[in-house]
Amino acid sequence: MKITTWNINGIRARIEGALAYVREARPDVLCLQEIKCVDEGFPTEAFADLGYNIATHGQKGFNGVALLSLGPLEDVVRGLPGDDGDAQARYIEATVSDGGNAVRVASIYLPNGNPVGSEKFPFKLAWMGRLEAHARALLATEMPVILAGDFNVIPEPKDAKRPDAWRNDALFQPESRAAFRTLGNLGYIDAVRACHPEPGHYTFWDYQAGAWQKDDGIRIDFQLLSPQAADRLIASGIDRFTRSWEKPSDHVPVWTTLA
C-alpha cells in the first residue's frame, strides 16, 4: 500500500499537475491539504475517472482537506475531535484497506500559528493538544494508523536549510516543536526520518527570493506511523520533482509504502 500526502495549495489552481502526478505515482491513498474549496467545488469527477473514491472536508477559499483512495473509504470522520466550535476544515480521517489490510489514515492541515504574539499561536498549540489526545485514542484501537499532512512544524534544525531564519517563526518555536515531539513520545514514527536520517530533506520552498533555486527549504510535511503501521514500513520518500513543474504548489508530495 502506497500512501501519499500533499499540500496542493489550491486544488482547482493545481488540478492539471495533481492529475499528472496521480497518473505517474498512482498512490493507493492520497491525502490532500489546502484544497481551498467547498466540498461541492472539489473536482471529484476527474479523480473518480482515475479510479479513486473521494472524501472531502472543504471550506470556501481557505484550508480544506481530502482523502482519495483506490479502495473504499470507510468510517469517515470530518473535523478534529475536542472542540465543537472549531469551524476550520483541517482534519479528515477514514479507514482504507488493501487486500484485507485495514489502515486508519488522517489528512491533516495543522494551523500555521503566525504571528507568534497573536491569538493564532495559542490556537495552534491548543489544536496540537487536541491532536495529541486524538492520536492517543487512535492508538488504543490497535489499528495501524497514519497521521499524514502539513504539520506546520520544523521539528529539528536539520529540517531547515537556514534554521536561524526561522527562530521567530511559529513553525520553529520551542512550544511547537515540543508539541510535535509528544506524538513521537506516544509511539508514532516519522516515516521519512526512519528511512532518511540525514539532513537536506525538505518538503516546502517559498515562492519568494528564489528559495527553490537555492534549495532554501524546510521539512514540515510528514507521515507519522503508529507502531502497528511502522512494523509494515518498507520505504518512504519525498517527490521533490513536482516543485519544478509549471505553476507548482510550494509543497511537494511525501509518500510511504507499507507491506
Active site (annotated) includes residue 169: no
Helix (H) or strand (E) holding 223: strand 221-225
Pick from 29, 80, 81, 33: nearest CA to 54: 29
Pick from 59, 19, 13: nearest CA to 36: 59
What residues does 53 pair with on adjacent strands?
A: 69
Q: Which position among 21, 28, 91, 150 bears the catalytic label?
A: 150
Q: Which position among 109, 169, 202, 221 bears the catalytic label?
A: 109
Instruction: Give residue for cell 488540478.
Output: 15
Pick from 17, 13, 1: nearest CA to 252: 17
Which residues are within 8 A (CB) of 197 and not within 5 positions of it... i.e. 6 or more apart?
none
What residues does 50 pair with on adjacent strands?
A: none
* Whether the Cβ atoms of residue 249 and residue 6 lie closer than 8 Å to each other: yes
- Residue 228 to residue 146: CA distance in whole angstroms: 10
What's 23's DSSP letter?
Answer: H
Active site (annotated) includes residue 109: yes
Number of residues written out for the chain: 259
A 10 A CB-CB count for 207 gives: 11
* Whether the Cβ atoms of residue 90 and residue 61 lie closer than 8 Å to each other: no
- Residue 219 to residue 155: CA distance in whole angstroms: 8
Q: Which residues are catalytic?
A: 109, 150
